[in-house]
Amino acid sequence: MRAAVLRNTGDDKLEIVDDLELGPVGPGEVKVKIHATGVCHSDVSGMNGTIPQPAPFVPGHEGAGVVSEVGEGVSNVQPGDHVIIAWSAPCGSCKFCVDRKQPNLCVNVQMAAFGAMHFSQAGTPIFGFAGSGTWAEEMIMPQQGVVKIDPDTPHEIASLVGCGVMTGVGAALNTAKVSPGSSVVVFGCGGVGISAIQGARVAGASEIVAVDLVDSKLEDAQRFGATHAVKPDELDAAKASITGGDGFDYAFEAIGLPQTMRAAYDVTRRGGTTCVIGVGGMDKTVQFNAFELFYDEKTFTGSYYGSADVRSDFSRMLNLWKNGRLDLEGMISKKIHIDDVNDAVEDLKAGTVIRSVITF
């Protein structure tokens, strides 16, 4: 089958192959024929080593398709079901899933999938990124890692929900819990940042300020609900005019850099919430002084997978889309074939697209 493979961490180019093979479907596993998969910045972070991922591997984690085979003991789906891939799925029985009501933080299923090398080429085992690997025509997932959806949902739309939309909208609705009438600022207007802007709009924020360096991305942000769009050097003036200098009720960082995390914290009002969505490197640090943490009483929090329970929140996102509350079609900048994935990665790095979607 056709797929994209990264041979070595740090390589600039993916190799497009047509002889990738899958092993047998084991107990509790599901084979999915991928119909659409997004090109997400987290895939680039896996390629450059920001997200730890052994190579060689098939990138991709934001996908949707149709179940083609199920293993022994699988009860939640059957062949022919349309599904979204959940790259970090809840096991359903651990403390995070049951007692703590934080199923997004369960790693039991993902860690098991991470070590399962279903892909191979000429007898050489190949990993799937983040325990998945959707940049391939077919893949195998644990049964918890597929979520059944209505078959009338276009695969391209469904694929976006698998990561970027769930992460950004979930950060606004689930993690930060944006309140109606509040003021919001979002740093970074890629797929996740645009989704956070849409989430803040759905939550009823009265002012939503988008911050980015790229003019076209600021224009995009206003299409999706930002009331203001500014370059970083214009943010202080926007903060003064919108909040009277107090700072924003909520600030979202969707870039993954220490300086923008710190900037998001600085423009959050006393008692407000700063929410980090962007994935930063383990060798990077953000500094605070001891007094400001006490005095400002701000909440500084991360958001992993939009604090979602994918078993219900994927359908929740699709319901918002079906009822016109989320614009997902508009987030697809390009539909491409797997042969064009290297160009799509470069587009993502350059900030010229919201999402490219590979269709098989």
242 and 97 inside one domain: no
Question: Average pLDDT in the 31-60 region?
Answer: 95
Whether 170 is covered by a domain: the verdict is: no
Mean pLDDT score across all residues of the chain: 96
Any idea what the CATH number is for the domain that residue 343 is in?
3.90.180.10
**CB-CB contact of 36 with 108 (8 Å):** no
pLDDT at 117 over 90: no
Determine the residue type at 242: I
Last residue of a domain, one of 302, 326, 348: 302
| Residues 11 and 110 placed together within one structural domain of the fold | yes
CA atoms of 298 and 270, how far apart (whole Å) = 6
User: What's the CATH code of the domain at 289?
Assistant: 3.40.50.720
Residue 236 in contact with residue 294, Cβ under 8 Å?
no
Asked if residue 169 belongs to a domain, the reply is no
Same domain, 125 and 91: yes
Q: Mean pLDDT, to the nearest integer, of 22-27?
A: 96
Q: Are residues 123 and 218 in the same domain?
A: no
Contact assessment for residue 298 and residue 265, using Cβ atoms and an 8 Å cutoff: yes
Task: Indicate the pLDDT class of residue 173, thresholds 50, 70 and 90.
Answer: very high
pTM over 0.85: yes
Same domain membership, residue 355 and residue 291: no
CA–CA gap between residue 296 and residue 192 (Å, rounded): 27
Is 172 among the domain residues?
Answer: no
294 and 313: one domain? no
Structure confidence by residue, pLDDT tens digits, 151-166: 999 999 999 999 999 9
pLDDT at 115 over 90: no
**295 in a structural domain:** yes
Does 249 score more than 90 pLDDT? yes
Q: Does residue 353 sit within a domain?
A: yes
Number of domains in the chain: 2
Give the residue from 259, 282, 302 where a domain finishes: 302
Residue 327: both structure tokens together:
């614009």
d(CA 225, CA 248): 17
pLDDT at 22: 96
> Using one digit for the tens of pLDDT, what is the confidence trace for 73-96?
999 999 999 999 999 999 999 999
Cis peptide leading into residue 56 (ω within 30°): yes
pLDDT digits (tens, 9 = 90+) for 174-204: 999 999 999 999 999 999 999 999 999 999 9
Cα–Cα distance for residue pair 185/200, rounded to 1 Å: 9
> What local confidence, expressed as pLDDT, does residue 83 receive?
98
pLDDT of residue 113: 81
With H, G, I as helix, E, B as strand and everything else as coil, classify residue 351: coil
State yes or no: pLDDT of 237 exceeds 90.
Answer: yes
**Residue 262 burial class via C-beta count within 10 angstroms: exposed 0-12, middle 13-18, buried 19 and up:** middle
pLDDT at 272: 98
Residue type, 148: K
- Which candidate, 335, 19, 328, 16, places its Cα nearest to that of 195? 328
Which amino acid, one-letter code, is at 153?
Answer: T
327 exposure class (CB count in 10 Å sphere: 0-12, 13-18, 19+): middle
User: Angle 320-231-180 (CA atoms, 0-180°, nearest 5)?
Assistant: 35
pLDDT above 70 covers what percent of the chain?
A: 100
Inter-residue contact 164 to 315 (CB < 8 Å): no
Q: For a pLDDT cut of 90, what percent of the chain falls above it?
A: 97
3-state SS class at 185: strand
Cis-peptide into 154, omega within 30 deg: no
Residue 189 is part of which domain span? 177-302
Spatial contact of 205 and 181, defined as CB atoms under 8 Å apart: yes
Give the end of a domain, one of 262, 283, 302.
302
**C-alpha to C-alpha distances, 118 to 136, 137, 300, nearest whole angstrom:** 12, 13, 38
User: Do 140 and 87 share a structural domain?
Assistant: yes
CA–CA gap between residue 340 and residue 155 (Å, rounded): 19
Q: What is the arithmetic mean of pLDDT over 102-118?
A: 88
Q: Which residues contact 236 (CB under 8 A, 6 or more apart)?
A: none
CA atoms within 13 A on the CB side of 23: 15
| In a shared domain, residues 25 and 143 | yes
Does 331 lie in the same domain as 317? yes
**Residue 324 lies inside a defined structural domain of this protein:** yes
Indicate the residue type of 203: A
- Kindly state the tokens that stand for 318: 């699709």
- Identify any residues that bridge with 314 across adjacent strands, giving them in sequence order: none
CA distance 349 to 351: 5
CB 190 within 8 A of CB 165: no
Is residue 148 within 8 Å of residue 77, measured between CB atoms? yes
| Same domain as 314, residue 279 | no
Identify whether 96 is part of a domain.
Answer: yes
pLDDT band at 58 (very low <50, low <70, confident <90, very high): very high
Q: Cβ atoms within 10 A of the Cβ of 258, count?
A: 15
Statement to judge: residues 213 and 246 lie in one domain: yes
Place of tokens 């950004």: 168
Bridge partners (DSSP) listed for residue 251:
185, 274
Evaluate whether residue 171 is within a structural domain: no
pLDDT tens, residue by residue, 313-356: 999 999 999 999 999 999 999 999 999 999 999 999 998 999 99
Q: Are 10 and 158 in a shared domain?
A: yes
